[in-house]
């Protein structure tokens, strides 16, 4: 056991990132370190890029002898599993947001799991009431702003972004992205459909440009002066701050400040990465063991230390850079309730003309 802990702690996340190249739509299939000779295995379909999780999977194999076979697909996993049906080799699916996990539940591609370990490690807010998915990390959807051009005292909530004084000053991703869908769904849960519709229209009216790019692109746009305010997930801040391969990103992130919205009412919206056991899992017990491993303190500390995410398990230390952004009041609305409102969120964006 001590050897496994030493193994995980010795991993250099930057070296791991530099050592692997995973293109957007590529499919990577890699056998676990135990290889073909392993007595047991688990087959993982992952929306999360393999280099982010491979060190943990190797540690799991080292501890249990269970080989982990990974198929990384940026999109299309749900459709693939539906087409494969009971012939699917998938045992476990890892996803990067609650909307995707919820889609799998709606499509009946997950099965319920009743695990005392998972219930102990993961607060009820971050797991499906029927045990069909479990959160493994969290991240906050924050407002970032130009330190040179914005007084942060003027922005305290997501709702403040609809003020006409911000016209032509906001950048965001496409409304079709799951992070944007989940954010609007959280506003529906907190404030109702009418206010959520007004938020979508108000922010759309204040956009500086057509929604585009990922969260890093929003920060770059602020640095370039295209806009002054944007919405991003917190872990991108750490990823840019410590990006040795593209050091210019350090300058981008140094130009912005961070606001955790709605501190004084419902709290800042958070999302999760997580997983669910496939409905037709052939190695169900091994899939549950891997989920339990990923929810335990050692894996949670690695997530926190390498990916700049917040652990779901209480008592696990945050990365110093993450700690430096400050503690905040997180929205306590159950994520499964927010996930239910994602279809309505899509309709509200469409009505607002938000691209």
Tens of pLDDT, residue by residue over 97-120, are: 998 999 999 999 999 999 999 999
Q: What is the pLDDT of residue 163?
A: 98
Residue 23, SS3? coil
Q: How far apart are CA 20 and CA 314, in angstroms?
A: 31
Could you tell me which of 269, 263, 241, 127 has the C-alpha nearest to residue 184? 269
Confidence of residue 30 (pLDDT cuts 50, 70, 90): very low
Q: How far apart are CA 58 and CA 33, in angstroms?
A: 6
Evaluate if residue 246 carries a pLDDT over 50.
yes
Q: How far apart are CA 110 and CA 128, in angstroms?
A: 11
Q: State the average pLDDT over residues 73-98.
A: 92
Q: How far apart are CA 20 and CA 23, in angstroms?
A: 10
**Of 25-34, 55-64, 77-86, the least confident:** 25-34
Tens of pLDDT, residue by residue over 290-337, are: 999 999 999 999 888 888 999 999 999 999 999 999 999 999 999 999
Tokens of 44: 């993982």
Number of Cβ within a 10 Å radius of residue 330: 18
Per cent of the chain over pLDDT 70 is 89
Tokens of 49: 């890029």
Tens of pLDDT, residue by residue over 125-169, are: 999 999 999 999 999 999 999 999 999 999 999 999 999 999 999
Q: How far apart are CA 249 and CA 334, in angstroms?
A: 34
Q: How far is CA 228 from CA 31, 36, 148, 158, 177, in A?
A: 46, 53, 9, 15, 21
Higher pLDDT, 246 or 8: 246
Confidence of residue 39 (pLDDT cuts 50, 70, 90): low
Q: How far apart are CA 314 and CA 103, in angstroms?
A: 27
Q: How far apart are CA 66 and CA 195, in angstroms?
A: 50
pTM, to two decimals? 0.84
Phi and psi, residue 177, nearest 5°: -75, 145
Confidence of residue 3 (pLDDT cuts 50, 70, 90): very low
Residue 219, SS3? helix
Q: How far apart are CA 53 and CA 176, in angstroms?
A: 26
Evaluate if residue 36 carries a pLDDT over 80.
no
Evaluate if residue 31 carries a pLDDT over 50.
no
Tokens of 165: 């004084």
Phi and psi, residue 271, nearest 5°: -125, 175
Instruction: Walk me through the domains of the chain, giving residue ranges and CATH numbers.
Output: 2-137+273-318 (3.40.190.10), 139-269+327-352 (3.40.190.10)
Evaluate if residue 26 carries a pLDDT over 90.
no
- 34 contact partners, CB below 8 Å, separation of at least 6: 41, 61, 65, 66, 67
Q: How far apart are CA 307 and CA 4, in angstroms?
A: 19
Evaluate if residue 19 carries a pLDDT over 70.
no
Computed over every residue of the chain, the mean pLDDT equals 89
Confidence of residue 20 (pLDDT cuts 50, 70, 90): very low
Q: What is the pLDDT of residue 9?
A: 41
Q: How far is CA 259 from CA 63, 106, 295, in A?
A: 41, 34, 28
Evaluate if residue 27 carries a pLDDT over 70.
no
Evaluate if residue 38 carries a pLDDT over 60.
no
184-211 burial: b if 16+ Cβ within 10 Å, else e = bbbbbbbbeeeebbbbbbbbbbbbbeeb
Residue 70, SS3? strand
Q: Are 172 and 180 in contact (CB under 8 A)?
A: yes
> Which H or E run includes 153?
none
Q: What is the pLDDT of residue 72?
A: 85
Q: How far apart are CA 314 and CA 120, in angstroms?
A: 10
Tens of pLDDT, residue by residue over 166-197, are: 999 999 999 999 999 999 999 999 999 999 99
Tokens of 337: 């309730």
């Amino acid at each position: 056991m001590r050897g496994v802990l030493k193994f995980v702690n010795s991993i250099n996340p930057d070296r791991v990132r530099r050592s692997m190249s995973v293109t957007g739509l590529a499919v990577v299939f890699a056998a676990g370190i135990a290889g073909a000779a392993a007595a047991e295995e688990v087959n993982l379909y992952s929306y999360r890029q393999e280099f982010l999780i491979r060190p943990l999977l190797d540690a799991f194999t080292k501890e249990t002898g269970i080989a982990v076979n990974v198929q990384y697909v940026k999109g299309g996993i749900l459709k693939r599993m539906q087409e494969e049906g009971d012939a699917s080799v998938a045992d476990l699916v890892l996803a990067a947001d609650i909307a995707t996990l919820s889609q799998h539940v709606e499509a009946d591609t997950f099965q319920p799991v009743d695990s005392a370990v998972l219930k102990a490690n993961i607060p009820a807010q971050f797991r499906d009431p029927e045990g069909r998915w479990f959160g493994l990390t969290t991240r906050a959807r924050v407002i970032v702003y130009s330190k040179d051009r914005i007084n942060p005292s003027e922005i305290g909530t997501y709702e403040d972004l609809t003020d006409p004084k911000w016209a032509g000053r906001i950048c965001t991703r496409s409304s079709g992205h799951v992070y944007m869908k989940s954010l609007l769904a959280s506003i529906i849960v907190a404030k109702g459909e009418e206010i959520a519709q007004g938020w979508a229209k108000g922010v759309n009216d204040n956009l500086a440009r057509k929604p585009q790019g990922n969260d890093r692109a929003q920060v770059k746009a602020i640095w370039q002066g295209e806009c002054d305010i944007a919405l991003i997930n917190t872990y991108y801040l750490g990823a840019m701050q410590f990006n040795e391969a593209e050091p210019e990103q350090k300058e981008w992130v140094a130009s912005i400040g961070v606001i955790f919205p709605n501190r004084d009412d419902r709290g800042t919206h958070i999302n999760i990465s997580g997983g669910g056991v496939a409905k037709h899992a052939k190695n169900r017990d091994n899939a549950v063991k891997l989920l339990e491993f990923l929810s335990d303190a050692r894996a949670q500390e690695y997530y926190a230390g390498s990916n700049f995410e917040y652990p779901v398990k209480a008592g696990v230390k945050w990365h110093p850079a993450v700690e430096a952004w400050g503690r905040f009041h997180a929205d306590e609305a159950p994520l499964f309730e927010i996930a239910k409102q994602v279809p309505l969120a899509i309709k509200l964006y469409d009505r607002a003309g938000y691209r």
